[in-house]
Amino acid sequence: MITVRRATPLDAPPMAELLNQIIEKGGTTAHTRPVTSRDMGGMMETAPDRSAWHVALNAEGALRGFQYIEPTSHLPPEACDIATFVQLGRTGLGIGSALFKVTAKAAKALGYVWINASIRADNEGGLIYYQSRGFRDYARRENVELASGQRVDKILKRYEI
């Protein structure tokens, strides 16, 4: 059983731990450097207006994933970016689906018309996840430099709310 709720600063430590495991594995996120609990808390605290952060918890209250949306300067005001992180080894169990159900409602309540997902072209799981939620390809960015200096292509997918 998965419960989804708004993220709070108290969620920052397990969120950072989950993200760092994904970063360490590599290949699925644009994040390339580990984050601290303070970093994660700061990201939530300084998130722009019209942002929404959610966490997915199991029946015992352990964090299994998180997702957020926020406006960005490269998108029009009616659109937001989305990021999704699910605990390694727990994908395909409905965690991402539960998160997206709540996030899509939040996006609509915040006045967005569509959601943008920028996914590494080599992130097969991420591409499948967003496609299964109803996101459709609309652009490709080639040779995007990550903070580590690595270059990847990104597929841009769009979800109409």
pLDDT tens digits for 1-52? Answer: 899 999 999 999 999 999 999 888 765 666 768 899 999 999 999 999 999 9
Show the tokens assigned to 54.
């959610």
Q: How many CA atoms lie within 13 A of 150 on its CB side?
A: 14
| Residue 119 binned pLDDT confidence (cut-offs 50, 70, 90) | very high
Mean pLDDT rounded to a whole number for the chain: 92
Q: Which helix (H) or strand (E) holds 128?
A: helix 124-132
Between these two residues, 27 and 79, which has the higher pLDDT value? 79
Q: How many CA atoms lie within 13 A of 120 on its CB side?
A: 17
CB atoms within 10 A of CB 27: 13
Between these two residues, 146 and 75, which has the higher pLDDT value? 75
Q: Which CATH class is domain 3-160?
A: alpha beta
Q: Are 129 and 142 in contact (CB under 8 A)?
A: no
> Residue 148 pLDDT more than 80?
no
Task: Enumerate the domain spans of the chain.
Answer: 3-160
| Residue 158 binned pLDDT confidence (cut-offs 50, 70, 90) | very high
Which pairing describes strands 151-160 and 136-145: parallel, antiparallel, or unpaired?
Answer: antiparallel
Residue 73: the pLDDT is 94
